[in-house]
Structure 1
Amino acid sequence: MSRIAVIAGQGRLAPAVIAALDDPLVYALDGFAPPEIAATPFRLERLVPFIDDLLAAGVGRVVFAGAVRRPRLDPEAFDPRTAQLVPRILGAMQSGDDAALREVLKVFEESDLAICGVGEVIPDLIPEPGVLAGDPTGADRRDAARGAEILSGTGHFDIGQGVVVAQGLCLAIETLPGTEAMLDFARLHAGLRPDPNGARGVFFKAPKPGQDRRVDLPTIGPDTIAQVAAAGLAGIAWQAGGVIVLDRDETVRRAEAAGVFLWARE
């Protein structure tokens, strides 16, 4: 049977995936390995030789787990075969990071490497529809619906996977700086809610429309609870089947302690 390789990015997802697998090979893009993981580094400028190494090691399946920002490429570091892919990948980059990532995945698949989604490896990381903690009010549910509407409209711009909505108004939207920066912005501007005594607001998260769900699924975890509570929000809602919840028991425990609801929305 073929071996499985994990391409580890930053954050808590990669360690969880590695722990759930039986003796995976672990690699990381140079400069993006989680500090607690022993990962063999590779560079995009030598993507084709890296794929050759995977095949030589008997790898047949690859899981991408964790956050990676677009690296700076060194034109002098490209090997001749990877250099032939540059026009193809650069062309995809003109349509955004999602398109570039899809093109890289195609390169793996063209070498008979199957891309496995995290949900295939650890299905329990992606909750079924339902409320995991707390009890969203009618106003919270309306704000979540508004958040879903906003993300469905911004998705094709390849902007982000999260939004904060309070009393029907968009307080913040996730962009390149990430979720933590967005929630901090929402905290600083909580006073913009029309009714100070009204609904506190909802953090809504969902994959981008048309996103390849085998990679880069939105993720929440215990640390997200503290950020949402600090922003004064009522809870977190997300598209059921499209968001990873890390360390679910601890995430639920912290949510209940902080009075923050957790809702996997249909």
Structure 2
Amino acid sequence: MSRIAVIAGQGRLAPAVVSLLDQPLVYALDGYAPEGIDVQPFRLERLVPFLDDLVDHGVDRVVFAGAIRRPRLDPEAFDPRTAQLVPRILMAMQSGDDAALRIVLDVFEEHGLTIVSVEEIAAPLVPGEGILTGQPSDHDKRDAARGAALLEATGGLDLGQGVVVAQGLCLALETLPGTQAMLDFAGRHAGLRPNLNGAKGVFYKAPKPGQDRRIDLPVIGPDTVTQTAEAGLAGIAWQAGGVILLDQDEAIRRADEAGIFLWARS
């Protein structure tokens, strides 16, 4: 019998994915489990025995859902087979977290496990092209296009997946502190817009160019909408088919209440 396993990270994505699947097996790195769902913990130091266990339970597909941070590793906890992977993973980590994640995915696939994307198994969470609510102005559309170009240019540097553009200028770029920190910064510096009575600015979100879309797709949700409104921006635009939208009805309700737009941009 074919089964799917969810590797649950922190945040609201994993519970949303689990709710759309039929009796998945749900696991999380020890100490990094999300709230709201029951999970079985595992340790990265025993990755190979964990993968053997998945196969023994009939799992053939795995989906990663939620934020997974690099755990602290205990050298004494490694089993011999997982220890053999350490040089390979450490070498990849020198090229950044994305490269390290790709190596981990390779190890899963070497055990006969197929990595599937959230889009494949929970398509309702990834909106296709269209304006969900509100109406971006021509100025907003130009700012969104500028945001897309900026993320395309910075993607190879392995930075964040979001940017704030106002009147054609980059007001803030998402980096390690995350989306909320970027939006807080943009709100505090809204006065830098050339025309204070002009376009308010747009928060644009997209995957990094060349990103493996089976993992770490950008995520927005109702809290993102609230933070965008508090930053004084006109709305949120994102790459259609490339961004997960959590709790869509509530996100739209908050956007309507705040008078901002939500746009999955082609």
Q: TM-score, normalised by structure 1?
A: 0.98
Describe the superposition over 1:223-266 as per-residue Cα deviations: whole angstroms up to 9, x where unpaired: 11100000000000011110011111111111111111011111
Aligned counterpart, 1:39: 39
Consecutive unaligned residues of structure 1, counting only runs of 5 or more, are none
Cα offset, 1:14, TM superposition:
0.4
- Counterparts of 1:79-90 in structure 2, within 5 Å, are 79-90=79-90
Runs of 4+ more than 6 Å apart: none
Q: Alpha-carbon deviation of 1:96? A: 1.1
Structure 2 unaligned residues grouped into runs of 5+: none
1:71: Cα distance to partner? Answer: 1.5
CA shift, 1:130, in A, is 1.2
* Superposition RMSD in Å: 0.9
Q: In structure 1, give the amino acid aligned to 2:228.
A: V
Give SS of 1:210's match.
coil
1:225 maps to which residue?
A: 225
The offset of 1:107, in angstroms, is 0.4
Aligned counterpart, 2:8: 8
- Partner Cα separation in structure 1 for residue 258 and residue 138 of structure 2: 20
Calculate percent identity across the aligned residue pairs: 74
CA offset digits 1:91-129 (Å, max 9, x no partner):
111111111111100100010001111111111111111
Per-residue CA deviations over 1:74-97 (Å, capped at 9, x if unaligned) read 222211111111111111111111
Q: Tell me how far apart the structure 1 counterparts of residues 243 and 61 of structure 2 sit (CA, whole Å).
A: 22
Partner Cα distance (1:260, 1:192) in 2? 21
What is the identity, as a one-letter code, of the residue corresponding to 1:56? Answer: D
Aligned to 2:135: 135
Map of 1:115 onto structure 2: 115
Identify the residue that residue 52 of structure 2 maps to in structure 1: 52
Aligned to 2:169: 169
Q: Number of aligned residue pairs: give it.
A: 266
- Could you say which residue in structure 1 is the equivalent of 2:64? 64
Of 245-254 and 199-208, more deviation after overlay is shown by 245-254
Q: Which amino acid aligns with 2:42?
A: F
Amino acid of the structure 2 residue aligned with 1:210:
G
Q: Match of 1:251? A: 251
Q: Letter of the aligned partner of 1:160 in structure 2?
A: G
User: Aligned letter for 1:83?
Assistant: A
Cα distance in 1 for partners of 2:70, 2:157 equals 17
Secondary structure of 2:124's match? helix
Structure-2-length-normalised TM-score: 0.98
The one-letter amino acid paired with 1:90 is L
The residue type equivalent to 2:111 in the other structure is S
Cα distance, 1:35 vs. partner? 2.1
Moved more, 186-195 or 145-154: 186-195
Conserved in 1, the CA contact under 8 Å of 2:11 and 2:35? no
| Distance in 2 between residues matched to 1:26 and 1:68, nearest whole Å | 14
Tell me the secondary structure at the aligned position of residue 263 of structure 1.
strand
- Offset of 1:51 from its aligned partner? 0.4
- The C-alpha deviation readout for 1:20-58, integer Å capped at 9, x for no partner, is 111111100112111222111111111111101111111
Worse overlay, 14-23 or 72-81? 72-81
**Inter-partner Cα distance in structure 2 for 1:244 and 1:36:** 19
Q: Given residue 138 of structure 2, which amino acid in structure 1 is its aligned partner?
A: G
What residue is the counterpart of 1:156 in the other structure?
156
- Which SS does the other structure have where 2:236 is aligned? strand
Specify the alignment match of 1:204 in structure 2: 204
